[in-house]
Amino acid sequence: MRESFRRFAAARARADRPAVRACLLAWGAAPPVASLLAALWLGRSALPPRLGLRAWGMRAFVRERVPGWPLGKPLPPPRHGPPCRLGDPGVAAEVADLARLLRSGRAAHDPATARLCTVLAVGCMGYGHMWKDMGLAARAELRTLLAEAAPRLAVRNTGDMRWKKFLYRELCKSEAGYVCRAPSCDRCTGRAECFGAEG
């Protein structure tokens, strides 16, 4: 175990993202979580250092999702990644609205799922495509995380809408004050922004 942590630390020191991700996979992380944490710990993610969680919540997240994380080893110190909107006026309320929306679509009402909902809400605060801002390897990994966190919500994205747009559209429908430009997507001039490819 000590050797594998040494390998992890060395990969991190040389900013070798695939090798950091491989260590996390070897410790039992699911692929999207391995991608997310590798990007976070290499400063390649727009997510905040603790993923929007409190310090103990972050430790719990790692314990739950990286079951082989070496016992007693500290979490890597944060590195600055691309900017995000966290800290801007009104953003905390927006994150809370998104987290509430995600939690409303949960299948399981356990703390681990609630934590994942928070991470996904915070993941909407980057300036780019959500899956890239979260450091995921592909858009499909975001679908996997959303389907795990909020399956009853994710299943409603039947038109393969961009996920961030979809979440805001759902907030719009819930009358939380996020207003779409048109009463229906079919009649909206912004359709390409909501449904275009997320490359």
For ligand SF4, the binding residues (CB under 6 A) are: 165, 169, 180-182, 185, 188, 190-191, 194
Residues 6+ apart with CB under 8 A from 85: 91, 125, 126, 127
- Residue 77 Cβ vs ligand SF4, minimum distance, rounded to whole Å: 39
Burial of 68 from C-beta contacts in 10 A (0-12 / 13-18 / 19+):
middle
| Residue number with CB closer to ligand SF4 (66 or 167) | 167
E-strand stretches of 19-114: none
| Residue number with CB closer to ligand SF4 (108 or 182) | 182
| Residue number with CB closer to ligand SF4 (6 or 173) | 173
CA distance 60 to 115: 9
CA distance 61 to 119: 10
- Residue 141 Cβ vs ligand SF4, minimum distance, rounded to whole Å: 23
Amino acid at 31: P
Q: Considering only CA atoms, which of 39, 2, 195 is closest in space to residue 126?
A: 39
| Residue number with CB closer to ligand SF4 (9 or 182) | 182
| Residue number with CB closer to ligand SF4 (3 or 186) | 186
Buried b (16+ CB within 10 A) or exposed e, 78-96: eeebeebbbeeeeeeebbe
- Residue 86 Cβ vs ligand SF4, minimum distance, rounded to whole Å: 23
- Residue 186 Cβ vs ligand SF4, minimum distance, rounded to whole Å: 8
- Residue 118 Cβ vs ligand SF4, minimum distance, rounded to whole Å: 24
